Amino acid sequence: MTRSAPLLPIAYSDEVTAAKERGAPLVALESTIITHGMPYPGNLEMARSVERIIREEGAVPATIAVIEGVLHVGLDDAELEALAQTSGAMKLSRADLAFAIAERRTGATTVAATMIAAARAGIRVFATGGIGGVHRKAEESFDISADLDELARTGVIVVCAGAKAILDIPKTLEVLESRGVPVVTYDSPDFPAFWSRESGLPSPLMLNSPAAIAHFQTVREQLGIDGGMLIANPVPEESEIPRREMEIYIQRALDHAERDEITGKAVTPYLLDTIFRLTDGRSLATNIALVENNARLAAEIAVALAV
């Protein structure tokens, strides 16, 4: 006698359920930026703002998180506020997403975990801040984000402001190229560097409209090409911190991390917090601006895909 596996506990919000029933465009959102990216209540204000922008552009937001072992695709406002005040949430990637569900834990999803959940829910577009990648001195630490392999295997369009500038961006682009991941910069020949509009590297590909991005993805699907697509969306010019200035802060933060022997998953939040202090909060303001900018573009792409 064979046993059927128990159904995966997925909770869709009422808004997401209604959107799926009528075939409305959806945009997935990660939750680590809420639990690990900034303190309360700023994190809640940012999350609400991003969701509002997506709705204004004609799509439906689906913030993804694991709450007491249940994978949530879309959060109502009370759940969003509770998550924003949660302390001790796990930071979930491919390796531990299933662990949190199996052990009934609460955790926030990174890029990789959000992509997995979005694909499972039939959501084709995901907006985030910046992807993870190859860390500086990875030849010594072997610290490479699972985001890159996830982009190679999971068919979701990821809209970001480029790779986080604390990373080794040339090596990150090399890995993406070797994995066959299309890297498209929106309306610019220069690949962006999160807080800065330029990384000093040319973009592998460029498209200048959400419709063109949607058409590119449709052709990939018609050819049977698996995996995701990375859309790099430069931060608005009025909100950027120039690359040369940011590199000074980044190097100081890296020196602090080496001094304090920070490793593994603790590296990125440590560096972001240090840079926040070194820039007197400017980096956070830029971070919020780029996330909102990415949400807008992601919604436009999702709407174009639904046409």
Catalytic residue set: 30, 164
125-127 vs 26-29, strand pairing mode:
parallel
Closest CA to 152 of 137, 131, 166: 131
- Whether 288 and 129 have beta carbons less than 8 Å apart is answered as no
- Please say whether the dihedral angle defined by the alpha carbons of residues 291, 294, 299 and 305, taken in this order, is positive or negative: negative
Report which DSSP code applies to 264: G
Bond preceding residue 41 cis, omega within 30 of 0: yes
Nearest-angstrom CA–CA distance, 272 and 268: 6
DSSP 237-262: GGG---HHHHHHHHHHHHHHHHHTT-
Report which DSSP code applies to 89: -
CB atoms within 10 A of CB 295: 26
- Please say whether the dihedral angle defined by the alpha carbons of residues 146, 147, 153 and 156, taken in this order, is positive or negative: positive
